[in-house]
């Protein structure tokens, strides 16, 4: 049986580049939130690898929570219909919230989430994404903390998946078309 690496056309972002990018993002958050205690909200499932590495680099008294949100189903592109499968466990009124996302693609999910969470009166809501794919943007949304601008390729690894597979690759690679067609 072929391994996962056989399905990768090329490695787009190496483990070292990802590690360096995570460090830079953490330094910016450390600086911006120096005297604050932000709530980091991971958008599952894709963000879990990135968020785990990021929080280990953040030197702040912060809290962590998660939301499970779906808008892709098992396909390759967002359906635009956002479903919240797990909401926050913590009250965010008056809190500084940082949404942690693996990739900002169409922006539909994050636009919906920001509106959804604003009703709860947080002090602020910011977006931190490892990858930003502006070519796919369908809404007027810009991340506050953006790691890497990525091309419009079908990518997997480091938490990103296709049909729940490839999340455990330590790098981010372009998936061969024959793996998803």
CATH number of the domain at 15-150, out of 3.20.20.70, 3.20.20.105, 3.40.50.2020, 3.40.50.620? Answer: 3.40.50.2020
The model carries a pTM of 0.92
User: Alpha-carbon distance 110 to 114, whole Å?
Assistant: 6
The pLDDT score that the predictor gives to residue 1 is: 52
Q: Which of 105, 140, 152, 161 is catalytic?
A: 105
The pLDDT score that the predictor gives to residue 138 is: 93
Tell me whether residue 35 is one of the annotated catalytic residues: no
Can you give the residue ranges of every domain in the chain?
A: 15-150
Tell me which residues of the chain have a pLDDT lower than 70.
1, 72-80
Tokens of 165: 């597979």
103: Cβ–Cβ under 8 A, 6 or more apart, which residues? Answer: 46, 129, 130, 131, 132, 133, 150, 155, 160
Instruction: State the sign of the Cα–Cα–Cα–Cα dihedral 23, 27, 29, 35.
Output: positive
120-171: per-residue pLDDT in tens? Answer: 999 999 999 999 999 989 999 999 999 999 999 999 999 999 999 999 999 9
Q: Which segments of the chain does DSSP mark as H helices, in order?
A: 15-32, 48-57, 108-118
């Amino acid at each position: 049986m072929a391994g996962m690496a056989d399905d990768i056309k090329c490695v787009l972002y190496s483990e070292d580049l990802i590690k360096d990018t995570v460090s830079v993002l953490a330094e910016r958050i450390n600086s911006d939130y120096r005297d604050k205690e932000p709530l980091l909200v991971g958008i599952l499932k894709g963000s879990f690898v990135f968020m785990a590495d990021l929080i280990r680099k953040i030197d702040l008294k912060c809290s962590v929570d998660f939301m499970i949100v779906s808008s892709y189903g098992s396909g390759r592109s967002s359906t635009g219909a956002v479903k919240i499968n797990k909401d926050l466990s913590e009250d965010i009124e008056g809190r500084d919230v940082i949404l942690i996302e693996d990739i900002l693609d169409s922006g539909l999910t994050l636009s919906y989430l920001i509106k959804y969470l604003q009703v709860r009166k947080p002090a602020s809501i910011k977006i931190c994404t490892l990858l930003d794919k502006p070519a796919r943007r369908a809404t007027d949304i810009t991340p506050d903390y953006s790691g890497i601008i990525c091309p419009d390729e079908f990518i997997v690894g480091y938490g990103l998946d296709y049909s729940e597979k490839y999340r455990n690759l330590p790098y981010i690679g372009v998936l061969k078309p024959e793996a998803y067609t």
